[in-house]
Structure 1
Amino acid sequence: MSTPATSVQASPSPSPGRQLREAASEWWQTDFPNWIYVFKMVFAGLLALGIGYALNLDSPRSALITVFIVMQPQSGMILAKSFYRVVGTLIGSVVVVLFVGLFAQTPELFLLASACWIGLCTVGSAHNRNFRSYGFVLSGYTVALIGLPAALNPATTFTSVMTRVTEITVGIVCVGVVSALVFPQASSPGLVRIIRSRFTAFVDLIGSTLGGTSDRKQLEATNARFVGDIIGLEALRSSAIFEDPEVRLRSGRLTRMNSEFMALSTRVHALHQLMNRLHTSSNASAQRVIDMISPYFREVQPLLTRSGGEPVMGALDAADAALKLDAYKQELPRRVRATRTENAQLLDDEAILDFDTASELLYRVIDELHAYTLTYASLVQRRHEREQWEHNYAPKTSMVTASIAGARAAITLIGLSTFWILSGWPSGSVAALNAAAFCAITSAAPDPAKATRTVTMGVVVAMVLGYVYTFHILPRLDGFWMLAAALTPVLMMAVLLTTKPKLAGYGLGICIFFPFLAVPDNLVHFDAAGYINEAIALIVSLVVTTIAFMLLLPPTTNWTVRHLEKQLRKQVVQACFGKLAHLALQFESGTRDLMHQITVLTSSRPGLRQNAFGWMFATLEIGHAVIELRTELQAIRSGNPGLLPPPAYAALDRLRETLPELFNHPNPATRAAVLSANDGAIAEVQQAIGPHYRERSERHRLQRTLSYLHFIRTALLDPYSPLQPAPKDGQDSNSNITSGTNGASHAA
């Protein structure tokens, strides 16, 4: 009997109506918000321009340009940027009046003072974060924008300052009102999405890490993503508090969540690394330790799931998870002690240390996970006791790189100002002030030279379009409405370009400089020579800025990355000798902030980035253990100083003194010195514990101290740590590691 042929039936293609609905749905979700943003910004800009003309301001185009400078998708970001723009402008205006009063008769001194002020403001901009840096930029930019013309005509200084502040205020008010009333896009929904997605991602990480399915590379990639999430959440929070009173009521809890998340993610990574090291060990006792502690790992995941088996995501579900975590945390120490007692005869001293360290880390993970979950659950309430949190996120910026950025801006202004004075170029002031401004504005970009080049191309387009509008279209227009209609197509195109990441620089150049060149003042001048002079001045200023970023210690050089990496390692020095009050949060946030800066600079250099992440994990592991060790020792010294003998205190102090040298100058000699000091401290603490009877609280305190020391030792011996000596020529870097451990998971 013949076998019937199996026919494969092709799936029917969707109907044209369904395809149209899917395309419309995709356009609504992706492109429609961008078009709403374009219409809002153009409308706000033209509104500001019209009000500027109605108020007979000298240069209404400044109000229009202000709209495009502060434009952001979310209203909270606009309000935050506008606030710091006003503050920066007011401070800069005061400095203008001061400098003009002091140096009106000596333009050389005025330019030198202005260059120094702009350099200082650029340092402040590079040293700060979020839109606070923009306030510093505007403070310096205002001195150049108002001060240079005012220095030539000192009698008009006060009028120029008042006009400038009025024009900026008009632009800020218009963009704020339009953003808040016309299809408002709030920052708070994005904040909620980040909080929820991060909590869900961390629940998954806990499950995979403690469940034994996460390897080293996966864990490091997840932690790398968390670095960006921490910085992003803080940036969104600082913007959303301007627009949403509900966010302001929860600002302390959001900051607290970020702090708890940093501590928790560090602890989970440390536990995972310890278990990986146990898996690479050939000692049979290490496998017994794994078998003893693994059942506790498997009990954590159910605590973070709902009754239906789905993971906890919302704040309401987190409240139930917090209750389960609290009950588990209360029982965990008793159960771990029982497990230790049952197996004590089967373990050697090293294995007991491993078990005590792993169980202590597990308890800390549960404790901090409980705190993090409690804070997340508290967000459903408008007011809560967990709002009382005064330990703010503490960014860390290298003063060396910030000072280089300031010096670059000052040198650029001095160079162009000198050329302006010596050549008598009528538009030299325009070139000088724009170069200084862009040196400050683009210093924070990942590749400032590239960013300035793209803006330069946008300025070239703006120059051509501006010439056509100024000399061929404007003379044929009558009244504001015709002017608005003529400007709208170009402004819409420019704003639309800013929504495309690869074209944003071109759009920004057109948005700012097309109005500068093409939009007339209240008293219209048609001066072709003046127009060409100003256009050339803008191009020259941006070319000089690009050259300055390429020649004057560019931020994208390997030197900058290595310097930031050195600053990252120096965080261990802070952990060893900083004041213990709030030290853990300062250490965590500073380390991650430096890593975020390195990540931005090494987007196209994965080798440098991977090396820096290795140092971040080593710094976090050892630095955190040192802070906890110091905290424990402080409690012992204040509560029961006789618990440890003097030789133990001396050995612990010796370890704290040798660790900074290892991270300042990592080499085999300093690593050997730290290992020797650490082994000596372990021996002294073990001798203090002794076989004799001690109260449970005293023994547990000493065991915790021993656990921190043992964890530092295992971190120093980690075969994948950058602290390990580089392999000799011809030697496999993994030759001393069990085969197959690269990226091994600590199977539970």
Structure 2
Amino acid sequence: MSAFSWRDWLFSGKTFAAAILALYIALALGLPRPYWAMSAVYVVSHPLSGATRSKALYRTLGTLLGASAAVWFVPALIDAPLILSAVVALWTGTLLYLSMLDRTPRSYVFMLAAYSLPLIALPAVNNPQGVFDIAVARSEEIILGIICASLVAAIVLPTRVSQALNGRLQAWMNDAADWAAEVLVPTDASKPAHHRHKLASDILALDLFITQMAYDAENREQVGLTRELRARMGMLLPVLSSLTGSLGEIRSQHHAVPDTLQTLLQHIASWIKQPYAPDMAMQAQLLRQQVQAYQPGPEVPHWIALLATNARARMLSLIALWQDCMQLQAQIRAGERDARWQPIYARWDLTSKARHYDYGMLWFSAGSASLFTFIACVLWRELGWADGASAVTLGAVACCFFAALDEPVPMLKIFFRWTVVSIVISAMWLFAVLPLSHEFETLAVLLAPPFLLIGLLITQPRYNLIGMLLGVNTATFLGVQGVYDANFTSFFNGNLAGLAGILFALIWTLVTRPFGVELAKRRLIQSSWRDLARNAAGDHEDDYRHLTARMLDRLGQLMPRLAASGDDSFSDGFRELRVGFSTLDLQRDEHRLQGPAQDAIHDVLCGVASHYDRALALAETTTASEQLRGQIDVAIERARHIDSAAALEAQNALVEIRTSLFPGATGPAATVALQEG
């Protein structure tokens, strides 16, 4: 663990102060379970003030929604316990599913509502007439804690989301610059793969930060700028991947990049590695002019010339995207938009927020949590276990927390292990330390040591979950009331029930979700194949904007899974991305060409669709057919003999598909199409 900074200590102190304030107010108001207010502080607190506010708002709404459902369902179904159990389980699963569909802080509404119903409803089944009072009290306690956490975070030296985001953006751009330089002027063949996997994974994490910026009052102007930057950062991935493929083919088949092209690559790499400067636009314009003027010489072999022409187009895209990214980043740092700024990159519409969802796996995960809740409710009722409600609620919470993970079992083990630690800490303080306190001030001093250390854990990304679990569970298990009335038997039975619920959730998940990351990885890749087959066949309703956004999002989801499995033999994700963009290019260019060229492109698109249909049918990566390679070669040659921008774009897209599906293959002869045509 790295040394704690003063900001870490500040956050821990602020969180503890908010928790003590919430506890004091709850005790003063005579709320029945004041410790819930204290635990709520540790649920919502985040080192970034905007993140705390967003979590606070949506967790409040989720709590109220779950409490309202409890008030509605419990009195109506108290005489039908099996139906009530089914309703609670269905509610939990349905709301959990909705939470997994939303990757913004809004998901907290549905997540909290999912487990707030069993949290409030199940302890009230023996007193259905009092469910309204229980729901109101729980809501008051939780909302009180949320308000205290939000106020303290906002008033006492708040840490803005933009401060953390700027650092992440700069780190991402540095990694992208390293990858670009390595692609253009390689020194270490292993670096591009490392950089591209990290970049694709990290870009998804930026989405949450960007959403949270909307809750920082000073950052509202920056939100739009950051979204524009994030969209262009995403497009850098396929552009750099395409350059990797084209330049790699040139180097492997021609042994060296032609001198003129190599000089251009060195100039671009040097420019990209430079920090932002006011004259960046002028330098970019000069580079664009040099790249546009480049033509492969007559001494360059035919296939190498085609690859170089494709690389030239990608270099122009790289320059435009990098210029946009650097200028947007400068505006974000300045905190205001430059009214004169206009984007340079305009090849693809980058405004779509479409995302890829594996609806089948989401339903399965939610259904698993729902069925667990139902079975746990039935077992509790049938066994007549007095403290069984604690088992059901903690088990449901555990299932909900980690439902979105490919491998929830390791996290459930952490949940179980650190819940045990929370019980031990709570027992030590409850029976050995807290009896020494006789007024609230002494109580606060005695609670400070463990909770200040817990707050420090929350500041460390590696230990954030552990810190949150310790904070919430320790505050809850201590059960601080207005009068000290600790009972070891009650403490032991209630907490043992909670542990039993988590253990049951762990065993249940081991049985129902043994698939791991491999299944998720394969389903993502097969979704890419399905989209590619559909798009190549023309079944996309010209919705290029959403298609590009989904392809990029799918890549971002795939990269951490490939890293986790350590195996990209099935697919590296980038190959499908390059084929996907090239297919969309051909779809657009096909309608702008006539005669034999249009027919040849149509044949290629049908061949690509058949290739991915076959891969889907076999559920494994397949080698593209020689027939498809021949169709691509014919289409390239026919497009090459047409003097138009559309034909050049089509030629580049065809070259891209060929290098993606037939890496290392010998290039086509210059006369292939004329002989066959």
The Cα offsets for residues 244-297 of structure 1, whole Å up to 9 and x where unpaired, read as 42x32121221111111121232122112211112222xxxx468734522321
Judge conservation of contact 1:57–1:163 (CA < 8 Å) in 2.
Answer: yes
Q: 2:169 aligns with which of 195, 202, 227?
A: 195
Query: Secondary structure of the residue that 2:651 maps to in structure 1?
Result: helix
Is residue 90 of structure 1 aligned with residue 47 of structure 2? no
Residues 78/392 of structure 1: CA separation in 2 closer, same or farther (3 Å cut): farther
Per the alignment, do residues 421 and 629 of structure 1 end up closer, same or farther by CA in structure 2, a change over 3 Å counting? same
* 1:328-727 alignment runs, 5 A limit: 328-330=287-289, 332-333=291-292, 335-336=293-294, 339-340=295-296, 343-344=297-298, 346-347=299-300, 349-379=302-332, 380=334, 382-384=336-338, 391-444=351-404, 447-471=407-431, 473-474=433-434, 477-499=437-459, 506-522=466-482, 525-554=485-514, 556=516, 558-573=518-533, 575-576=535-536, 577-578=539-540, 579-583=542-546, 585-599=548-562, 603=564, 605-606=565-566, 608=567, 610-611=568-569, 614-634=571-591, 636=592, 642=594, 647-648=599-600, 650-665=602-617, 671-673=623-625, 675-684=626-635, 686-687=637-638, 690=641, 696=643, 698=644, 700-718=645-663
Match of 2:265 in 1: 297
Letter in 2 for 1:632: D
Whichever residue aligns with residue 151 of structure 2, its letter is V
Change (3 A) 1:445 1:39: farther
> 1:484 Cα shift?
2.1
The CA distance in 2 between the partners of 1:653 and 1:716, in whole Å, is: 13
Q: Percent identity?
A: 19
- Structure 2 CA distance for aligned equivalents of residues 526 and 228 of structure 1: 48
TM-score by length of 1: 0.80
Contact 1:643–1:688 (CA under 8 A) maintained in structure 2: no
After superposition, give the CA deviation of every residue in 1:302-356 in whole Å (9 maximum; x if it has no partner): 5446xxxxx214xxx2x421232134324533x12xx34xx34x45543442232
Of 203, 206, 227, which residue of structure 1 is paired with 2:200?
227
Q: 1:502 to 1:356 in 2, by over 3 A?
A: closer
Equivalent of 2:285 in 326, 333, 351: 326
Name which of structure 1's ranges 512-521 and 125-134 shifts more when overlaid on structure 2: 125-134
Report the alpha carbon displacement of residue 571 of structure 1 after superposing the two structures with TM.
Answer: 4.8
Q: Distance in 2 between matches of 1:439 and 1:359?
A: 51
> Is the 1:455–1:508 Cα contact (8 Å) retained in structure 2?
no
1:222 alignment partner AA: H
AA aligned to 1:196 is Q
Which among 59, 69, 76 is matched to residue 33 of structure 2?
Answer: 59
Match of 2:230 among 258, 270, 279: 258
Equivalence for 1:9: none
Amino acid at match of 2:392: A
Structure 1: state its 5+ residue gaps.
Answer: 1-25, 306-310, 725-735, 737-748
Deviation at 1:50, TM superposition (A): 0.6
Q: CA deviation at 1:359?
A: 2.2
Structure 2 Cα separation of the partners of residues 553 and 250 of structure 1: 41
Q: Which amino acid aligns with 1:55?
A: L
- Pick closer, same or farther for the CA change 1:506–1:377 going to 2, 3 Å: closer
The alignment covers a number of residue pairs equal to 657
Aligned counterpart, 1:14: none
Q: Distance in 2 between matches of 1:39 and 1:57?
A: 25
* 2:27–2:482 Cα contact (<8 Å) kept: yes
Q: CA deviation at 1:591?
A: 2.2
Q: Aligned partner of 1:261: which letter?
A: M
Deviations 1:136-158 (A, max 9, x none): 22111111111223444332233
Counterparts of 1:504 and 1:667, CA distance in 2 = 38
> Which residue number in structure 2 is paired with residue 276 of structure 1?
248
Write out aligned runs for 1:106-145 (5 A): 106-145=80-119
CA contact (8 A) 1:70 1:81 kept: yes
1:483, 1:224 → 2: CA distance? 50
Q: Normalising to structure 2: TM-score of the pair?
A: 0.88
- Work out which of the residue numbers 15, 22, 27 in structure 2 matches 1:41: 15
**Do residues 70 (structure 1) and 44 (structure 2) align?**
yes
Counterpart residue type for residue 18 of structure 2: A
Secondary structure of the residue that 2:263 maps to in structure 1? helix
| Structure 2 CA distance for partners of 1:460 and 1:651, relative to 1, 3 Å | closer
AA at the equivalent of 1:267: V
**Which amino acid in 1 is paired with 2:282?**
L
| Structure-2 separation of matches of 1:368 and 1:501 | 31
- Give the RMSD, CA atoms, in angstroms: 3.2
Aligned to 1:147: 121
Give, as a single letter, the amino acid of the residue that structure 2 aligns with 1:541: G
Structure 1 residues 664 and 461: alpha-carbon distance in aligned structure 2, compared to 1, 3 A threshold: same
1:31-59 Cα offsets, whole Å, 9 max, x none, are: 43332222221111111111111222221
- What amino acid sits opposite 1:280 in the alignment? S
1:260·1:371 contact (CA, 8 Å) conserved in 2? yes
Runs (5+) with no aligned partner, structure 2:
344-348, 667-677
Structure-1 separation of matches of 2:145 and 2:619: 57
Relative to structure 1, the CA distance from residue 174 to residue 552 in structure 2 (aligned partners, 3 Å threshold; closer, same or farther) is same
SS of structure 2 residue aligned to 1:615: coil
Whole-Å separation in 2 of the counterparts to 1:82 and 1:110? 29
Q: Is the 8 A contact 1:685 1:702 kept in 2?
A: no
Pair 1:215–1:473, CA change in 2 (3 A)? closer
